[in-house]
Structure 1
Amino acid sequence: MTALYQLATPLPEAERNARIYRGELIVFRGFDAMARLTDQLRAHCVSHLGSEPTCVHQWMSSIEIEQATEALRAAIRKDSDMDLAWCQVLSAIHTDLDETYGDGVVLRVQPPCSGAKGERLEPLRAHRDTWGSNLPAQINWWAPLFDTTPERTLALFPGSFTRIIDNDSADWDFQDMVHAHRGKNTSGYPLLPTATKAPSWDDALVISLLPGDLLCFSGAHLHASVPNTTSVTRLSFETRTVNRSDMATGSGAPNVDGSAPFMTPQIFRHLKSGRKLGELERK
């Protein structure tokens, strides 16, 4: 099974990306910039979810948590200091910001399964992000904001990196998803393509990280939320980046089973200028 490499020093981006495209999993640990970002995100959580965000399910209903989470995400999107903090993290691990495009920092709130009724609160089913984006150079970043346990965290299935997994990407269209969700017709269209048969949890690599850690992995890795069977709400953040030069040269992870009809580079914006990586393109 693929190893999880922990690094306390920066790594040249070309080397890092090459390793990620081969399927390696890298955790950056002990970076001050990441600790500061984690503190800033925690402060946003307290503002919107209460003084003990991991216990929010004790005083809010699922509908109230979903509404508060949407407000929390909107506040983070509007916070220019958050963009700066994330860029400082990437710079600290030696990312070339001139070549980097991202889709913004997103908070995920997952209450215990017994209380997770909203679409954006429920555990994510197994999927590859690249089933939706069709960008082999896409890199995923994930980090917990509070302590996690094996029962409330992220899981990857490294053994499936180059294995064909049956999925519904051929019937999923990014534009249709956007239109459906803008029209609040959320029950009729999935947020992302998923595996049509759940993988065995015996094959899962359950990620155990500390607040301040940062996981980096290819968007082509099969991954899923671990159903939260604890009595504590999980709060984490995620984001995705694409290196422009890697995309231009065709570098990236292998596409073994993705069949979505479009590429979606336009969801990524340059971290400095804000310009889009590209417009919607047919494969």
Structure 2
Amino acid sequence: MTALYQLATPLPEAERNSRIYQGELIVFRGFDAMGQLTDRLRAYCVDYFGDDPTRAHQSMSSPEIDRAAENLHAAIRKDDDVHLAWRQVLAAIDTDLNETYGDGVVIRVQPPRSGSEGERTEPLRAHRDTWGSNLQAQINWWAPLYDTTPERTLVLFPSFFSRIVENDSDDWNFQDMVQAHREKSVPGYPLLPTAARAPGWDDALVVSLLPGDLLCFSGAHLHASVPNTTNLTRLSFETRTVNCHDMAGGAGAPNMDGLAPYVTSQIFRHLVSGQKLGKLAAVAASDKLNSQKKT
């Protein structure tokens, strides 16, 4: 069984990324910058879900929680202080911000299962993030904002990292998904490609972390939400990053089974300048094409 490597000191990014691309799971613990970001995000949770956000479902309906989650998502995306706090976390663990692109900080809200979860609150089925992005250098970051239990957290399936998993990525298109959800034109269009069959729990690694911890893993790792069977709402923080040097050099996790037709690099922006990674990818593709023509 793959273990979580816990680190209380910075790790050079090149070493960290190399280990992540090989399937390792790393937890950074005890960093002040992460504690400060956690406190800021918890304050947001209180603003939108009441004094005890883990019990929001006791006073709010499922539609109310879903609307609050949408509004919370929008507010955080506009908060420069949150983005600064996240950059400070990455800098503290020895990340080169000049080479880093990200897709923004997101708080995931998962109430106890009621059968009527909304787009931002439903449990996520087993998936690799790279099925949707087609970026093998993508790194995922996840952290609980409140205490978790095995029945209310994230689960990974490490044994599938280098195994083929049947999935529906060949039929999934990021632009179609965005349009379908914006215009409500295709009800039920999936937010991301998922596994055709749920993996067995014999190989599951249920993540048990404390607020202030930060989990780092490859976007190619198969993972899912644990169906929340407790009487408390789960609130966690997540985001994804790509190192442009690694992407340009072809570094990253192995692509075992991703079949999506497009690369969705446009969702990633430079953490300092805000430039879209898609522009960098387009330039790299143009340079590669010109080089091929010359030869």
* Short-chain TM bin: over 0.9
- Asked if residue 89 in structure 1 is aligned to residue 107 in structure 2, the reply is no
Displacement over 6 Å in runs of 4+ = none
| Cα distance in structure 2, aligned partners of 1:260 and 1:161 | 18
The aligned counterpart of 1:187 is: 187
Give 2:234's aligned amino acid: R
Between the aligned residues of both structures, percent identity stands at: 76
Q: Secondary structure at the match of 1:263?
A: coil
Q: Which has the larger radius of gyration?
A: 2
Distance 1:105 1:248, change over 3 A: same
- Asked if residue 9 in structure 1 is aligned to residue 5 in structure 2, the reply is no
The aligned counterpart of 2:99 is: 99
- Structure 1: gaps spanning 5 or more residues: none
Aligned residues of 1:152 and 1:230 also touching (Cα < 8 A)? yes
The aligned counterpart of 1:32 is: 32
The aligned counterpart of 1:177 is: 177
Q: Secondary structure at the match of 1:149?
A: coil
- Structure 2: gaps spanning 5 or more residues: 286-295
Give 1:180's aligned amino acid: A
- Asked if residue 226 in structure 1 is aligned to residue 226 in structure 2, the reply is yes
Aligned pairs for 1:108-127 within 5 A: 108-114=108-114, 116-127=116-127
Query: TM-score, length-normalised on structure 2?
Result: 0.94
Please report how far the alpha carbon of residue 208 of structure 1 lies from its aligned counterpart in structure 2 after TM superposition: 0.1
Residues 6-53 of structure 1 show CA distances to partners (whole Å, capped at 9, x for unaligned) of 000000000000000000000000000000000000001101111110
Residues 104-162 of structure 1 show CA distances to partners (whole Å, capped at 9, x for unaligned) of 00010000012652132111000000000000000000000000000000000000000
Q: Secondary structure at the match of 2:232?
A: coil
Aligned residues of 2:70 and 2:120 also touching (Cα < 8 A)? no
Q: 212-221 or 112-121: which moved more? A: 112-121
Residues 171-214 of structure 1 show CA distances to partners (whole Å, capped at 9, x for unaligned) of 00111001111113462310000001010111110000000000
The aligned counterpart of 1:148 is: 148
Q: Secondary structure at the match of 1:262?
A: coil
| Cα distance in structure 1, aligned partners of 2:28 and 2:181 | 34
Q: Secondary structure at the match of 2:128?
A: coil
| Cα distance in structure 2, aligned partners of 1:146 and 1:132 | 28
| Cα distance in structure 2, aligned partners of 1:13 and 1:213 | 18
The aligned counterpart of 1:18 is: 18
Q: Secondary structure at the match of 1:261?
A: coil
The aligned counterpart of 2:212 is: 212
| Cα distance in structure 1, aligned partners of 2:202 and 2:231 | 23
Q: Secondary structure at the match of 1:229?
A: coil
Aligned residues of 1:57 and 1:115 also touching (Cα < 8 A)? no
| Cα distance in structure 1, aligned partners of 2:149 and 2:40 | 22
Please report how far the alpha carbon of residue 2 of structure 1 lies from its aligned counterpart in structure 2 after TM superposition: 1.5
| Cα distance in structure 1, aligned partners of 2:69 and 2:48 | 8
Residues 221-280 of structure 1 show CA distances to partners (whole Å, capped at 9, x for unaligned) of 000000000000000010000000000000000000000000111110000000001158
Aligned residues of 1:104 and 1:239 also touching (Cα < 8 A)? yes
Give aligned pairs, total.
Answer: 282
| Cα distance in structure 2, aligned partners of 1:135 and 1:142 | 18
Q: Secondary structure at the match of 2:215?
A: strand
Q: 184-193 or 156-165: which moved more? A: 184-193
| Cα distance in structure 1, aligned partners of 2:241 and 2:15 | 16
| Cα distance in structure 2, aligned partners of 1:185 and 1:236 | 30
Give 1:273's aligned amino acid: S
User: RMSD in angstroms over aligned alpha carbons?
Assistant: 1.2
- Asked if residue 241 in structure 1 is aligned to residue 238 in structure 2, the reply is no
| Cα distance in structure 2, aligned partners of 1:138 and 1:62 | 32
